[in-house]
Structure 1
Amino acid sequence: MHNDQLHPVCGAPPRRTPRGLVGLFACASGLSVANVYYAQPLLDQVAEDFAISPGAVGGVITATQVGSVLALLLIVPLGDQINRRTLMLVQISALIGGLFCVGITHSPLIMLLAMLAIGLLGTAMTQGLIAFAATASLPEERGRVVGTVQGGVVIGLLLSRLAAGLISDLAGWRWVYLSSALAMMTLGLILYKVLPTQRPSSAPMAYPRLVLSMFKLLKEDPVLQIRGMLALFIFAVLGIFWSALVFLLTHAPYGFSHTTIGTFGLAGVVGALAATRAGVWADKGLGQWTTGVSLALLILAWGALWLTTDSMVWLLIGVVMLDLGAQAIHVTNQSMIFNSQPASHSRVVGCYMLFYAVGSGLGALASTALFAAHGWTGVCLLGAGVSLTALGFWAVTLHLMPGTVEHSRTAARHPG
């Protein structure tokens, strides 16, 4: 039996990934990513506790985001070179230490360093678990598995703000991180008992070469290039929406609290759960169809969001449509890039998520500036414009994607 006929985890004949293991990947990913976002609704309490000015306390978020980018570049690629089970257990142990540190320290410097570590390790674990799940699954089920795990990530991200608000109201902000440390300890024990051994998927190489190989993959893989740019567009759209929503709803005539605003994120859970179906469609070869429909849905979502000033019902409808469309594309993207690079799942997801980070950052910056100048209407026009640009980019690059009818026709016209 040839090696490519063996199951990637243990060398046994191919078999479908157990549903219990897929569920564990989803839950673990959701708990891991939540650590990166707990700080957002806690900044006022952190500023008061550490005597940091409101203007400077944003450095807490900056520290976690810097950690996230460093994880994508420096830590996530190691999954292609090291037994992923060992890597996950080491990372979760270090993450637990960082969470406890934030929960007990009274030094602003140590707190910032610990937040950087939480961003680094929380992101590394989340993306490493997605790559783990993709490698552990068969090609014909990979979209479904990745979609389920990605659903866990989105739900963890959305619920993190609500959980942080509730725990801090009951016991103080420090118990958000102490409680998470206890939860991650429990998760670590489960992973220790359940996670299978997963051998490295690529030939050994020096660490600097491993990191640089990410950029080689980006240069040579048209699937990663195209789907990465689509990720940049869709996460810019999400950044535009969520960054401006706070300014809209905290001012007259609404005057909502941050906890109330956070509950609107729960509507996104509906879209996130529905979007997991996109992975099944990708397994059936319908990824491009799903992408086109989802991009059109993003444009329609901004029409509903523009009507928010007339009724909150339109906001709820818009949030569901926006998250459904964006997450369906995200799941489809990951299914496609994993199938295009079967030996480099960790590096390809790290490279792909860099597009996510850039898109989110640019969207947030543009959104806040435009809201100050042109209000909610300006934000909606920007979001619709970026969504329309993404649809145009998808249509123009369709013939460049391997496996499509358009690509086959182009290859036939230009052989070699």
Structure 2
Amino acid sequence: MPAFGQALPKSLNFHCRFAPSLRAELLFTYDFFCAPAATKSHPPALTPGLVWLMAIACGLVVANIYYNQPLLADIGRTFQLTDSQASLVATLTQVGYTLGLFFVVPLGDKLERKRLILLLLLFSAGAMAAAALAPSFLLLIGASLLIGIFSAVPQLLVPMAAHLASDAERGRVVGKIMSGLLIGILASRTLSGYIGAHGGWRLVFGIGSGVMLALAVVLAVKLPKDQPDFEGTYGSLMKSLATLTRTLPVLRKSALTGAFLFASFSVFWTTLVFFLEGSPYFYKSDVAGFFGLIGALGALAAPLAGKSADTRGPAYAINIGILMALAAYLVLAFGGYHLVGLIVGVIVLDIGVQATHISNQSRIFSLVPEARSRLNTIYMTLYFIGGSVGSLVGGVAWHHYQWPGVCGVGLAFVAAAWLVNRFYGNTRPA
């Protein structure tokens, strides 16, 4: 892909002589959409087996970020912490993931993606091992930050799959891969809760380190090489993030909507273990983790949302997803003290959040094909900023107001997502 500032064809240049601002916008559009064919690479074929391998890989890596949530109470007891202090493990992990999204994922448009993915897997294995052996809470949260940074692999695999897929099947492919990622997010809580209850929280991180090493070996053999077209410097790559954000209002709208909705998601999952350990449930971390398996039903919405994005457009699924998240928090607020109400709320919340997320990604990946990693960086950076804020605010709400406070701030974040999606920019949903 040519660098920004490439000369426009004479026909376009003539009409823009007296409109410098229009010419600047056309430069951006031409660079992304009208690059000469000779500069563009031909991606390898995307087979069904490769799609499922990428889905499994996404699930295994993203699990690194969520293993800690059912273990927070046990970690707090190990280091004699309050619940609010222990929740910093989850918060710092998501902060690290956000940093990885912003500074590492854009490299997927510049460096050979397979090599970058394998390197990150090795680093994440080391960070997980450091967490397992951490002798102090300070070192644990430092390792948690690194776990987040090096676990950005799924956000390289998703745009890679979107790049390899045809236009007609892109939504379905992204949906399938995201189903693996979502199952990893939610099933990780079940596994870590069970292992933590019977073998201690350190064993969970140790096993996770071994899984990363094994996955690196498999992907080294099976994952195809995929060389992007961007030939500029890292600095110009990062500067283009601002250009993309400024010139694509649909991207801004999707990112803000996703951020607020993921904040509501994180509010719930960060505080659930504390709620279940007290009245009226008095459950241990293994049962808290089991709720992740219940929530994994939300992953079933991913392929359906992708299919809907291919046929009816993403706006429909986004609106339905937000309404489902709103309904879920109403159920949790009034019925969360009863097991049936809590289970229903978990399922509806996860389906709503994931359907919205998949549809948002399908929408942004269609904007600028040559910049999918950077589009994903912008979207997912704001998305996980929202998640980090949700974890932090959720911990504070629980500390001061217990379950009513959690449900209150969760509803507030969902309402913010609805307002952004409905009114931001006063444009029709894309």
- Per-residue CA deviations over 1:161-207 (Å, capped at 9, x if unaligned) read 222233334444333233222222221121111111111132x1221
Distance 1:248 1:185, change over 3 A: closer
Kindly report which structure 2 residues correspond to 1:202-213, keeping only aligned pairs within 5 A, or say none: 202=230, 204-213=231-240
- Per the alignment, in what secondary structure is the counterpart of residue 370 of structure 2? coil
- Per-residue CA deviations over 1:37-76 (Å, capped at 9, x if unaligned) read 2233334555666xx4415655544542332122112111
Which stretch of structure 1 is more off in the superposition, 247-256 or 148-157? 247-256
Deviation (angstroms), 1:110: 5.5
Q: In structure 2, what residue type is equivalent to 1:9?
A: P
For the pair 1:9 / 2:38, whether they are aligned, the reply is: no
The separation in 1 between residues aligned to 2:132 and 2:393, in whole angstroms, is 34
For the pair 1:194 / 2:228, whether they are aligned, the reply is: no
Q: In structure 2, what residue type is equivalent to 1:146?
A: V
Deviation (angstroms), 1:325: 1.0
Q: 1:90 maps to which residue? A: 119
Kindly report which structure 2 residues correspond to 1:277-292, keeping only aligned pairs within 5 A, or say none: 277-292=304-319
Distance 1:252 1:39, change over 3 A: closer
Q: 2:328 maps to which residue? A: 301
Deviation (angstroms), 1:36: 1.9
Q: In structure 1, what residue type is equivalent to 2:67?
A: Y
Deviation (angstroms), 1:29: 0.6
Deviation (angstroms), 1:254: 2.2
The separation in 1 between residues aligned to 2:144 and 2:263, in whole angstroms, is 24
Q: Is the 8 A contact 2:94 2:148 kept in 1?
A: yes
Q: In structure 2, what residue type is equivalent to 1:39?
A: N
Which stretch of structure 1 is more off in the superposition, 180-189 or 133-142? 180-189
- Per the alignment, in what secondary structure is the counterpart of residue 257 of structure 2? helix
The separation in 1 between residues aligned to 2:75 and 2:337, in whole angstroms, is 36
Structure 1: gaps (5+ residues): 405-416
Q: 1:411 maps to which residue? A: none
Distance 1:254 1:103, change over 3 A: closer
Deviation (angstroms), 1:101: 3.5
- Per-residue CA deviations over 1:374-394 (Å, capped at 9, x if unaligned) read 554454344334434433432
Q: 1:217 maps to which residue? A: 244
For the pair 1:71 / 2:105, whether they are aligned, the reply is: no
Q: Is the 8 A contact 1:215 1:351 kept in 2?
A: no
Q: Is the 8 A contact 1:8 1:135 kept in 2?
A: no
Kindly report which structure 2 residues correspond to 1:38-49, keeping only aligned pairs within 5 A, or say none: 38-43=67-72, 46=75
Which stretch of structure 1 is more off in the superposition, 113-122 or 372-381? 372-381
The separation in 2 between residues aligned to 1:103 and 1:382, in whole angstroms, is 33
Q: 1:408 maps to which residue? A: none
Q: 2:54 maps to which residue? A: 25
Distance 1:237 1:60, change over 3 A: closer
Q: In structure 1, what residue type is equivalent to 2:64?
A: N
The separation in 2 between residues aligned to 1:63 and 1:366, in whole angstroms, is 13
Q: TM-score, normalised by structure 1?
A: 0.85
- Per-residue CA deviations over 1:353-374 (Å, capped at 9, x if unaligned) read 1221222233334444445555
Q: In structure 1, what residue type is equivalent to 2:237?
A: L
Which stretch of structure 1 is more off in the superposition, 38-47 or 276-285? 38-47
- Per the alignment, in what secondary structure is the counterpart of residue 43 of structure 2? coil
The separation in 2 between residues aligned to 1:4 and 1:267, in whole angstroms, is 49
The separation in 1 between residues aligned to 2:271 and 2:197, in whole angstroms, is 25
For the pair 1:254 / 2:281, whether they are aligned, the reply is: yes
Q: TM-score, normalised by structure 2?
A: 0.82
Distance 1:89 1:378, change over 3 A: closer
The separation in 1 between residues aligned to 2:419 and 2:203, in whole angstroms, is 47
Deviation (angstroms), 1:31: 0.6
Q: In structure 1, what residue type is equivalent to 2:147?
A: I
Which stretch of structure 1 is more off in the superposition, 363-372 or 154-163? 363-372
Q: In structure 2, what residue type is equivalent to 1:221?
A: L
Distance 1:7 1:305, change over 3 A: farther
- Per-residue CA deviations over 1:276-333 (Å, capped at 9, x if unaligned) read 2101110114211111222222222223223325632122112111111110010001
**Could you tell me which of 189, 192, 197 is aligned with 1:164?**
192
Deviation (angstroms), 1:345: 1.4
Cα RMSD after superposing both structures: 2.8
For the pair 1:329 / 2:356, whether they are aligned, the reply is: yes
Aligned residues: 393
Q: Is the 8 A contact 1:307 1:315 kept in 2?
A: no
The separation in 1 between residues aligned to 2:180 and 2:197, in whole angstroms, is 25
Distance 1:245 1:72, change over 3 A: same
- Per the alignment, in what secondary structure is the counterpart of residue 153 of structure 2? helix
The separation in 1 between residues aligned to 2:118 and 2:240, in whole angstroms, is 25
Distance 1:209 1:320, change over 3 A: same
Kindly report which structure 2 residues correspond to 1:79-118, keeping only aligned pairs within 5 A, or say none: 79-104=108-133, 106=135, 111-118=140-147
**Percent of pairs identical after alignment?**
34
Deviation (angstroms), 1:258: 2.6
The separation in 1 between residues aligned to 2:140 and 2:227, in whole angstroms, is 36
Deviation (angstroms), 1:255: 2.0
- Per the alignment, in what secondary structure is the counterpart of residue 366 of structure 2? helix
Q: Is the 8 A contact 1:7 1:136 kept in 2?
A: no
Which stretch of structure 1 is more off in the superposition, 218-227 or 105-114? 105-114
Distance 1:275 1:53, change over 3 A: same
- Per the alignment, in what secondary structure is the counterpart of residue 276 of structure 1? helix
Q: 2:417 maps to which residue? A: 390
Q: In structure 2, what residue type is equivalent to 1:193?
A: V
Distance 1:143 1:288, change over 3 A: same
Q: Is the 8 A contact 1:282 1:335 kept in 2?
A: yes
